[in-house]
Structure formats: structure tokens, C-alpha cells
Amino acid sequence: MYKSIVLIFICISNILIAQIYTPIIDSIVMRDGKKIAADIYIIDSINPRPTILIQTPYNRIYYRLNLPLVGQNIEDYGYNFVITDWRGFYGSSSANVLGYNRGLDGYDIVEWIAQQSWSNGKIGTYGPSALGKIQFETAKEQPPHLVCCVPLVSNPQMTYLEYFPGGVYRTEYVEQLDNLGFGFSTWLLSNPFYNLQWQFVENSTFYPSSINVPFLMIGGWYDHTIDQMLSFFNALLQQSPVASQHKLLMGPWVHGGHGISQVGSSQQGELFFYNASNWNDSLSLRFFDFYLKNINNGWNNEPVVQYYQIGDNQWQQATSLSAINVDTLQMFLNSDNYLTTIPPDVQNQNGYFIYNPADPSPTYGGTTLRQDLLQGPYDQSQVVESRSDLLIFTSSTLNEPIRVFGKVKITLFVSSDCKDTDFAIRFCDVYPDNRSILINDGIKRMRFRNGYQTSDTASMVNGVVYKIDIDLPHTAYTFLPGHKIRIDISSSNYPKYDNNLNNGKQMYTAGDTIIATNVVYFEADHKSSISLPILHSNNIYDFSNSERFILYPNPTNSSFTISNFNQIKFIEIYDIMGKKYEFNQQENINIHNLNNGLYLIKITDLNDGIILKKLIKN
């Protein structure tokens, strides 16, 4: 949710605007007789122009400092702007009606604009977060003069998992929504389980078939709305009457609203993406020019999906999200805190940590919203990983890039000495300088391991091993050569997520806190792992079940041979720690000098396909 942080400049802005633009201040009468406050910026009163409508709950007067997209150069772009306060907020406070459909207000405002002498009857909408959500609500009502919409970091659907990911209450997120005047917390805390109320809310806020004008949806890989946003975009392509006209832009951006990192800014957390700067504005203007001004600027030939692959720091394109092909790279937790492609083959391997709800692992960056918290990619090594209340698993240094696109899944085998606890994941890129930069995170509350309805919940039994899956949000991220893949496993990430008191009793009420000893297993019978969706073109980790290449003898004590050797371009040998060994590339491979243990044989065939095999030296 966006809110201006330049309050101290309001007085100064009045002076500046007097020198540039002073809006026409008006009120627009809605169908129920209530009035909506509006600031109207028109280029002239003689030549009708297209209009961009912005509906905000964060006080329209802040836009008097600077209009979006055009700044203080409104004549150069040729658009009128109408900026209104939401019903019940700021200048429209007196119009408040409990439960009123603000999409109807959007309809009435669009049609009012179309009747004005300075309007040519073509209206587009624009805005981020809450200002984006109301665009969906307006479009759902299908006002005749609405032509197109540009919502940023937003989607219309309200889902259980948005507010209770893994069954855990998003503390700072809801606190910030309450601070902004939305007041969701009372209802949310009364409905911590998935129930009929949630089913109704999810169904009633999901309406892709009602969207009959083109949308340019703009999002960021470090934004907290990403999963719901991509889900709705996919639905638009399948169900909207104008499915072929919708487009998606995904940049390396946070949600924004405060701080130096915003949608379209170069700096995002500790990282910089100069070739992504202001792409959101430039594409939005091209989109508006095409639909509102009928300018033949080639917009219709733009790809359906444009996305930024972080790490490579390059823009990519696709005909749809589902057209982006991925394979799965599974890496296993192993002894000595290593992530490897080789599963553990011994028993009695595990690690444990102590979780004290009174001293939780702190949130440091990520997809946050509260104004006192950092947003975006930040180094976890000093604030999070220096503590003792977590387990850290890291790959060997990469020799090749690994390109991830999609949702990473963590599978853990765990136990606890408490009836309930949480397991939290931070997914990180370890740089050559040992910074551990956060990509994204996830969490699972153990009472919800079987589902989120009341009937699904169950306490833990001391010492019993449970399997859980933790799905991380979508990402497009390349781990570069010289970097390492890392996951941090703890039982908290506060204040982003509620602290589990570990007592197994009613949630979100005062009660005794219990210190938990939580165990993660990585052994032959309990193979904890991370599954990475790897871009299909990244053949280096194409795990094949093909039996073209068979190692024999296996196990071996001195040498081995690979079947169909004449179909092999070259061979590489790695140990469980990722160390590469040199040897003669010949049909009978001598490894008598290697220590006993498990090895990974990487075979590159004549078509540059990669097959990975395990070999035991004894």
C-alpha cells in the first residue's frame, strides 16, 4: 500500500504548485448522492484530451507535489489527470457508507469525466497497490468510457494465504494496513482458519471474466503481492474477453511506499539495477499512448510478458508465464551443512536449534510493508545468520550459472519437543564477498501441516518426525559463477510473521511461551531438500532418467566404465562437497587415487545434454 512520506513538504509544495499547476478542486456526485473529492488537472479548456484517473486512499493533495508519469510537465504528454480521494478517506470522508462497493464510485467517476468539455471520452486508470486494486474493482463494473488500466504491485483477490502464509499471521503487514485506515485485523484474527467466510471472500474477489478492457499489470520480484498477482494475470489470459490485449511487466522491484526503494527505482535494498530504472513509467506511457491517443507505436507487437532475470540483470520476454519451460533441480541437505545434488545415504544425521519466542529471529529486509522495516534484498549474514537459533545449508561455489524461474519448494523432515512450532526459510545468494543476500522467504506452522481448516489441525508429538513443504514466492533469479546457494532454517522471522508461542493452545492470544528444541533431519530415510525450478535452456542441470549411460562396476574400488562412451563429449567428477577432480578422458576411468565415498559423475552428451550419475568408491 502506498502512502506519501513527504509530509514536511506540503507547505513548500503549495508554493511550487502555484508556479506550475493549481488543480481545479471539485466534488463529484455519486449515484447515492454522496460526494467524492477530486483534484482536476487539465491542459486547456478548449481542446478535449484523454484523461488518466487515479483513485487514492492516501490523500489526493500529495499528488500536487508531482503528478505520476509526467511530473510537472503535463503539456508535454497531452493527458488530463483526475485524482480523487476514496469514499471514506480524507476529502471524501463524509461520503463513507459501510460496505459500499467502491467499484461503483469508479464507474460514476469515469462516466462523469466522459461528460466534461475538456474530456474526449477516453479514460485510463493508473496507480500502485491500493490504487491498483480499485482499478480492478472499477473495471469489473464495466463503465462504457473506461479504455485501459495500469495497476502496479496489485491484484483484486483477497486470499487466506496472503494474510496467513503457511498458516502464520503476517504481523507487520496487517499492522501497516491498520495504520493506513483499512482495519482488517479484527476480522482476520477472528478467522485464522480457512473457512466458508474465506471461501466467499476469495470467490467474490476473483473475477477475470469481468475484465473487458486491456490491462498492463506491473509487478516486482521483491513485492509481497507477487503470487496473487501472477495468478490473476494467468486467469486474465484464459478468461478475460480481451485476453490477447493484457500484458505483464515484472521488474526487480519492491512494493514501495516508503524508503529509497520504489517500483522503478535503480536501488532495491542493497542492490542496484540501472537498466530497469523507470521501465514501468516508459511502458505505461506507451500503453496509454496506444489506447488513449491511438498512436501507432508498436505496442500491440510488444511481448505479452516482459520480466527481469535478477543476477543476469537482463530483460527477458515470453508469450505467457506458462510458456517459460523449467526443469527441476533437487538439492539435498547433507552433513557439514552442505547443499548438494547427492542425497544422503547414511542414517542418524540431523541438526537442531533452540527457538525462544521471547527472542525471535529478526526480519531484515524482504517483502515487508511496515514503514519502520527495510524492503528488498539485504545481507542476512550479520543480523540473522550470526545468531545461534538457526541452521544454515550452503552449496559449493558454483562453476556455472543456475537460472531459477518460478516457485522454489523446501521439503523438510522435522521434529520438536513442543506441541506446535514454526519452521521458517530464508532463501539467499551468497556472494564471493560472503554477503548472504536475501531472495525471498517462507514459513509453515506445524499445526497446519495437513491443511488450513480447523479439522486439518493437529498437535505434534515429541520425537515424531514430520514431513512438511514450504513454498516460496515466485522469483526470477540467476546464481552466478562464484556464488553459492543457501537456505537458512529457523523458527521465526519477526515482525514479518507472528511468533509461535510453542504451547499448542489458541493462537494470537496471550499465553505462556515455551522454548522449543527443533530438529531438522537429513538422512537416508528423511531426505530434506530444496527443489529449484530451473530455466529449460540451462541444460547443465537437466537430470535425466535415461539409461543410455550406465556406470560399471558401481561401486568400484579402482576404475569404472561408462556405456555408450562414443556418445559422450566429456565427463566431470565431483565429490559430495562439490570439489572437481582431474582425470584422463578415456573409456576406462581410473579413480584409484580418490578417497572412498560418494561421487557425482556429470556426463555431457554430443547434443550438450547433461546427465548426472552417482558413483560409489569403496
Output the pLDDT for position 539.
39
Dihedral of CA 414/417/419/420: which sign?
negative
Output the pLDDT for position 585.
83
Output the pLDDT for position 457.
97
476480522: which residue's cell? 187
Residue 426: strand, helix, or coil: strand
The pair phi, psi for residue 64, each rounded to 5°, is -70, -15
Domain boundaries, the chain: 1-148, 326-535, 544-617
Query: What's the rounded Cα separation, in Å, for the pair 341 and 338?
Result: 10
Non-local (6+) Cβ contacts of 12 within 8 A are none
Is the per-residue pLDDT at 574 higher than 60?
A: yes
Q: Which of the four pLDDT bands, split at 50, 70 and 90, describes residue 238?
A: very high
Query: What's the rounded Cα separation, in Å, for the pair 139 and 135?
Result: 6
| pLDDT digit string, tens, across residues 174-221 | 999 999 999 999 999 999 999 999 999 999 999 999 999 999 999 999
Output the pLDDT for position 600.
82
Write the DSSP string, 159-202.
-HHHHSGGG---HHHHHHHHHTT---HHHHHH--S--HHHHHHH
Residue 358: Cβ-neighbour burial (10 angstroms; 0-12, 13-18, 19+): exposed
Is the per-residue pLDDT at 10 higher than 70?
A: no
Is the per-residue pLDDT at 14 higher than 50?
A: no
Query: What's the rounded Cα separation, in Å, for the pair 459 and 72?
Result: 59
Output the pLDDT for position 18.
37
Q: Which of the four pLDDT bands, split at 50, 70 and 90, describes residue 565?
A: confident
| Count of CB atoms situated within 10 Å of the CB of 467 | 13
Output the pLDDT for position 577.
62
Q: For strand 551-552 and strand 559-562, is the pairing parallel, antiparallel, or unpaired? A: antiparallel
Q: How large a percentage of the chain has pLDDT more than 90? A: 81
Output the pLDDT for position 547.
55
Region 251-266: what's the mean pLDDT? 95
Cβ proximity of 380 and 268 under 8 Å? no
Output the pLDDT for position 9.
33
Is the per-residue pLDDT at 541 higher than 80?
A: no
What is the CATH code for 544-617? 2.60.40
Q: H or E stretch including 239?
A: helix 226-239
Question: What is the C-alpha end-to-end distance of the chain, expressed in Å?
Answer: 60
Region 318-343: what's the mean pLDDT? 94
Q: Mean pLDDT of all residues in the chain?
A: 92
The pair phi, psi for residue 38, each rounded to 5°, is -140, 140
Q: Copy the grid coordinates of residue 606.
A: 554430443
Output the pLDDT for position 13.
37
Q: Give me the half-sphere count of Cα atoms (radius 13 Å) on the Cβ side of residue 611.
A: 20
Query: What's the rounded Cα separation, in Å, for the pair 332 and 340?
Result: 5
Pick the CATH number of 326-535 from 2.60.120.260, 1.10.8.350, 2.60.120.200, 3.30.300.20: 2.60.120.260
Output the pLDDT for position 494.
98
Query: What's the rounded Cα separation, in Å, for the pair 405 and 153?
Result: 19
Query: What's the rounded Cα separation, in Å, for the pair 1 and 23?
Result: 25
| Count of CB atoms situated within 10 Å of the CB of 119 | 19
Is the per-residue pLDDT at 330 higher than 80?
A: yes
Is the per-residue pLDDT at 103 higher than 90?
A: yes
Q: For strand 119-128 and strand 49-56, is the pairing parallel, antiparallel, or unpaired? A: parallel
Is the per-residue pLDDT at 583 higher than 50?
A: yes
Query: What's the rounded Cα separation, in Å, for the pair 252 and 222?
Result: 7
Radius of gyration of the chain (CA): 27
Cβ proximity of 255 and 370 under 8 Å? no
| pLDDT digit string, tens, across residues 53-81 | 999 999 999 999 899 999 888 989 999 99
Q: Of 220, 276, 209, 282, nearest to 246 (Cα)?
A: 209
The pair phi, psi for residue 298, each rounded to 5°, is 80, 10
Output the pLDDT for position 599.
83
The pair phi, psi for residue 93, each rounded to 5°, is -60, -40
Architecture of domain 1-148: 3-Layer(aba) Sandwich (3.40)
Q: Copy the grid coordinates of residue 200.
A: 466467499
| Count of CB atoms situated within 10 Å of the CB of 527 | 18
pTM: 0.86
Output the pLDDT for position 478.
97
| pLDDT digit string, tens, across residues 487-514 | 999 999 999 999 999 999 999 998 899 9
Q: Copy the grid coordinates of residue 381.
A: 549474514
Region 26-55: what's the mean pLDDT? 96
Q: Copy the grid coordinates of residue 328.
A: 527441476
Q: How large a percentage of the chain has pLDDT more than 70? A: 94
Out of 69-73, 116-120, 458-462, least confident range: 69-73
Out of 305-309, 366-370, 546-550, least confident range: 546-550
Region 167-173: what's the mean pLDDT? 97
Query: What's the rounded Cα separation, in Å, for the pair 51 and 284?
Result: 14
Output the pLDDT for position 511.
86
Output the pLDDT for position 21.
66
Cβ proximity of 248 and 308 under 8 Å? no
Q: Give me the half-sphere count of Cα atoms (radius 13 Å) on the Cβ side of residue 436.
A: 19
DSSP one-letter code for 261: -
Output the pLDDT for position 38.
98
Output the pLDDT for position 16.
39
Is the per-residue pLDDT at 576 higher than 70?
A: no
Out of 120-134, 514-528, 553-567, least confident range: 553-567
Cβ proximity of 109 and 146 under 8 Å? no
Write the DSSP string, 532-549.
EEEETT-GGG------SS
